[in-house]
Amino acid sequence: DGGITQSPKYLFRKEGQNVTLSCEQNLNHDAMYWYRQDPGQGLRLIYYSQIVNDFQKGDIAEGYSVSREKKESFPLTVTSAQKNPTAFYLCASSIRGPPNTGELFFGEGSRLTVL
């Protein structure tokens, strides 16, 4: 089945550690996105990528890093510089990049808790 796969679904980390969240899509979409959701809030954009080897910062990129070496994959690293990393992270993709993206599709999310 086509879709977006995120892993792990749940992750615990100690303060000061980096952690990488995986996102893979087999929809043949050009654009991929990472969003962060805090309790009772909407989604905020961390990074997006319109094409391989290119990515752009969103509204809350500080403390995060990404790479896009393959069309199918867009991993997110939450670094120790991120001051409040405990959140729900959602990966998404669309057939094209902004502004004419078409429909946005989401993975199931990764819940990160920093102890």
Partner 1 sequence: GIQVEQSPPDLILQEGANSTLRCNFSDSVNNLQWFHQNPWGQLINLFYIPSGTKQNGRLSATTVATERYSLLYISSSQTTDSGVYFCAVGGNTGNQFYFGTGTSLTVIP
Interface contacts to partner 1, rule CB under 8 A: 33, 37, 40-45, 48, 56, 58-59, 88, 90, 98-109, 111
Of the two residues 18 and 59, which places its CB atom closer to partner 1 in the complex? 59
Q: How far is the CB of 94 from partner 1 (least distance, A)?
A: 9
Of the two residues 69 and 108, which places its CB atom closer to partner 1 in the complex? 108
Q: How far is the CB of 16 from partner 1 (least distance, A)?
A: 26
Q: Give the tokens for residue 62.
A: 């500080």
CA nearest neighbour of 15 among 83, 77, 64, 65: 83
Of the two residues 30 and 80, which places its CB atom closer to partner 1 in the complex? 30
DSSP string, 35-86: EEE-TT--EEEEEEEEETTEEEE-TT-TTEEE--SBTTB--EEE-TT-S---
Q: Give the tokens for residue 11.
A: 């992750």
Q: How far is the CB of 19 from partner 1 (least distance, A)?
A: 18
27 CB-contact burial (10 Å; exposed 0-12 / middle 13-18 / buried 19+): middle
Q: How far is the CB of 35 from partner 1 (least distance, A)?
A: 8
Of the two residues 15 and 103, which places its CB atom closer to partner 1 in the complex? 103
